[in-house]
Every structure is written in structure tokens, then in C-alpha cells.
């Protein structure tokens, strides 16, 4: 099967990510990972904990708890540590 490369500017790490995603054998696991990746990308592209917003609340959101952001970053660090141990 031949494929064309639509985005030749992808780095080796980006290609590896795509190959690893495609290599997952279980379609349900693939769907769960895709959803998780969407959420993770949203988290990274919409960073919080930047101090007070124009509304006077942390992150510009009165219901946001600063600890939640720190807990998420800590969780990501623990996931990374666990992956290194595997």
C-alpha cells in the first residue's frame, strides 16, 4: 500500500507518535487515547495558572481552583515517571 506524505514537515518524534497511535490493536483503546490526547492538547494550548485574569480571578474563572492545575501537572509528572520505570 502506498501512501503520500501530506505533511513532510513532521519531525521524527511526531511521526513516531502517529505510528504508535496507529499500532494500538484495540479500537476502543484507540478511541480512548484519541479523546485523552484531545483533552491533553486542550490543556496545553489553554494554559492556566497565569495569575489573575482581567476579571480578578485566577485563570479568569471564579470557579477555578489553582490546586486543580497543579494536581494535573503533578499527575502528568507521575505518569512520565511511571513510563520511565516500565
Per-residue model confidence (pLDDT) at position 9: 82
Which residues of the chain have a pLDDT value below 50?
Answer: 1
Query: Is residue 33 within 8 Å of residue 21, measured between CB atoms?
Result: yes
User: Whole-prediction pTM value?
Assistant: 0.58
Q: What is the 3-state secondary structure (H, E, C) of the chain?
A: CCCCCCCCCCCHHHHHHHHHHHHCCCHHHHHHHHHHHHHHHHHHHCCCCCCECCCCCECCCCCCCHHHHHHHHHHHHHHHHHHHHC
Per-residue model confidence (pLDDT) at position 65: 63
Per-residue model confidence (pLDDT) at position 1: 44
Question: Most distant CA pair in the chain: distance in Å?
Answer: 56
Amino acid at each position: 500500500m502506498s501512501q503520500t506524505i501530506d505533511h513532510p514537515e513532521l519531525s521524527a518524534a511526531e511521526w513516531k507518535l502517529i505510528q504508535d497511535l496507529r499500532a494500538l490493536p484495540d479500537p476502543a483503546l484507540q478511541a480512548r487515547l484519541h479523546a485523552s490526547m484531545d483533552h491533553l492538547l486542550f490543556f496545553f494550548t489553554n494554559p492556566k495558572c497565569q495569575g489573575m485574569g482581567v476579571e480578578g480571578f485566577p485563570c479568569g474563572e471564579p470557579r477555578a481552583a489553582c490546586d486543580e492545575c497543579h494536581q494535573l501537572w503533578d499527575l502528568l509528572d507521575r505518569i512520565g515517571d511511571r513510563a520511565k520505570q516500565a
